Amino acid sequence: MTVKSLGTYDFPSRSRQELYGDDQLVHVWFKDNPWFCAAACFRAPKAMTWGDFWSQLVIPFAEEDPDFDPAAARTWALHGESIAPRDDQTLEELGVVHKDVLATVLA
């Protein structure tokens, strides 16, 4: 679809990395989950461990789904590649960068 512009768009993004310091925006997409129609966005420090990210940010959000089981086996993907995050790994060590999408499905 073509877009007809009235002028040039020359504005810096209001969600660019430099505005977040040591934090970043991380999206979590529960694929094939009818309760969540889109990825959720979390602000998290790059140095946050996976265990803390999962327990402090994602679980409280995901518990809104009455069928959510935090202990259920899941497969994870980042940049289209499968990952197996360990609780002691930081988001940075996992390769997660600003505005990345972590996709998950029940195993």
What DSSP letter does each residue of 52-79 carry, written as one string? Answer: HIIIIIIHHHHTTSTT--TTS-EEEEET
Residue 2 maps to a domain: no
Residue 9 lies in a domain: no
Answer yes or no: is 40 within a domain: yes
Q: Is residue 82 part of a domain?
A: yes
Question: Is 8 a member of any domain?
Answer: no
**How many structural domains compose the chain?**
1
pLDDT, tens digit, for every residue of 38-95?
Answer: 999 999 999 999 999 999 999 999 999 999 999 999 999 999 999 999 999 999 999 9
- The answer to whether the pTM exceeds 0.85 is yes
CATH code of the domain covering residue 48: 3.10.20.560
Is the residue at 59 inside a domain? Answer: yes
Segment 13-46, tens digit of pLDDT: 999 999 999 999 999 999 999 999 999 999 999 9
Residue 65 domain-assigned (yes or no): yes
